[in-house]
Amino acid sequence: MEQVGVNYFLEFTYLIASVLFILGLKGLSHPESARRGMFMAEAGMAAAVFGTLFHHDIHVYEWIILGLVAGSIIGALMAIWVPMTAMPQRTALSHAFGAIAAALVGIAEYTLHGGATMPGFTRGALGFEVMLGALTTTGSLIAAGKLQGVVRGTPVQFKGQQVLNLVLFGSMVGCFIYTIIHPEASLFFYAMAGLGFLFGVMLVIPIGSADMPVVMSLLNSYAGLAAAATGFVLGNNVLIIAGTLDGFSGLILSILMCKAMNRSITNVLFGGFGAVHHEAGPGATGEMREISLDDAAVRLAYASKVVFVPGYGLATAQAQHAVRDLASALEERGVTVKYGIHPVAGRMPGHMNVLLAEANVPYGDLYEMEQINPEFPTTDVAVVVGANDVVNPDARDNPDSPIAGMPILEVDKAKSVIVLKRGQGRGFSGLENPLFFKPVTSMLYGDAKSSLAQLAQEVKNV
Ligand code: NAP
């Protein structure tokens, strides 16, 4: 093919890829179309990679083929072996991969061509790409480590930390500006990259693992912006478009998550949430009442309306199919069954929706927090399946609680509540939950999957 024709073909694949990315993102905005959205985004990425193989700067394919094979094997193994519960840390790793790619491309461009030959704008984009890429790489690795439990999950804080971070940040930005003005000063360029890697670590270690999903969403946004900057350096349109989409959707998601937890972004980044052990409000005293499996099954079987409230424990127990089976057994008896979904239940946005969709729970049975809360007073039994923080009434009733103001699912307003959990374990915030001590609440201890399976069996026998 003639070079001009090849260039047109390449730009055409980029155009197709960009359209698919936008449609993919739109699909992801609703659970019903999310799967289709994912396929579109994947097809877009395949088109972008395929088109790039025809780039006129590529003369030998050996390394590219090696990279494609290695990347595909690592990606496939991660997709096959990583369990749903470890999806947040897997995503953090993906951000680290994307960010290190952006940083290395920037460092390679600078090393090969030197900054002096580049126009000022490209130099700025290059510095931005390396700086953001570097800090996102180490920040995402620390986030993945915290979520996996290989790095201490509680905030690591020491005296003068914020001043040190400010000095690091200032030095990094100083080096960035200096290299734009004096592109030949390679020492400053590499110092900026080094400071970026260090700053990523220092930025994330003072943040507790409960806030990691928000941090990851922010880092995702940084990785996207680094990719967009890479696009400007390389003159690559699809990188600019995909990076910008990623950057801004990540930012919007972070803001939405903060809203759902009634926290500000600055509080998440600098608040050290989880560093101090907080006492629960006055309601968290007394005894928790246990209920037997038989009694719980009878209560459910004779209810007219039951609302399931899933949380992180549903994911760890992989109890999505079991909850669906119990719901079906109840529906066969004429019980109305609904699911109340909190926006930050679980460990990532949409976590519960994904799990329940996997078990073919009809989308129409899922109710968002604002829709289901007015229904609790007319609910006979609210069944809390491995949820804790998202049903903690202290958020509503105790202004001194660290989660004060976080909107909750008001299960305590139901006529009765059955909580399925393994023992006295706390939620991600580490707070005691007064719901478990309320007269309306009964505790059914055990792994959620096995409790639900036994309940389904018992309900059928009632
Ligand atoms: P949670 O507060 O973390 O509580 C989960 C509960 O599940 C625990 O109390 C645990 O008690 C129980 N559990 C664990 N494994 C279980 C099993 N196999 N069977 C039965 N129960 C089990 O969960 P949540 O109510 O879903 O709240 C989510 C938390 O994550 C919130 O603090 C939220 O702010 C935070 N967060 C979420 C996101 C997001 O995007 N989803 C983002 C940022 C922060 P036992 O150990 O006693 O069983």
Q: Is the CB of 218 under 6 A from ligand 1?
A: no
- HEC per residue, 135-203: HHHHHHHHHHHHHHCCCCCCCCCCCCHHHHHHHHHHHHHHHHHHHHHCCCCHHHHHHHHHHHHHHHHHH
Residue 263 beta carbon below 6 angstroms from any ligand 1 atom: no
Q: Tens digit of pLDDT for each residue in 53-82?
A: 998 888 899 999 999 999 999 999 998 998
User: For residue 322, what pLDDT is reported?
Assistant: 97
Distance (Å, whole) CA 253 – CA 299: 39
pLDDT at 222 over 80: yes
- What percent of the chain shows pLDDT beyond 70? 96
In whole angstroms, give the CA distance from residue 341 to residue 390: 9
Q: What is the pLDDT of residue 190?
A: 96
- Pocket test of ligand 1: the residue of 85, 391, 421, 431 to mutate, having most ligand atoms within 8 Å of its CB, is 421
For the ranges 160-174, 251-265, 308-322, the lowest mean pLDDT is seen at 251-265
pTM of full prediction above 0.85: no
> CA 124 → CA 24, 39, 62, 111, 121, distances in Å?
30, 35, 32, 15, 5
Which of the residues 246, 389, 394, 447 is marked catalytic? 389
> Is 389 an active-site residue?
yes
**Residue 347 Cβ < 6 Å to ligand 1:** yes
Q: Give me the domains of the chain, ranges plus CATH numbers.
A: 82-270 (no CATH), 293-461 (3.40.50.1220)
Q: How far apart are CA 420 and CA 422, in angstroms?
A: 7
pLDDT, tens only, 404-434: 888 999 999 999 999 999 998 999 888 899 9
Three-class SS state of 268: helix
The C-alpha angle 9, 15, 19, rounded to 5 degrees, equals 150
Cβ of 409 closer than 6 Å to ligand 1, yes or no, is: no
- pLDDT for 195-212, tens place per residue? 999 999 999 998 877 778
Per-residue model confidence as pLDDT tens digits over 321-374 = 999 999 999 999 999 999 999 988 998 878 898 889 889 899 899 999 999 999
Measured by CA distance, the residue closest to atom 14 of ligand 1 is 313
- The 10s digit of each residue's pLDDT in 370-411 is 999 999 999 999 999 999 999 999 999 998 888 888 899 999
Assess contact for 230 and 102: CB atoms under 8 A.
yes
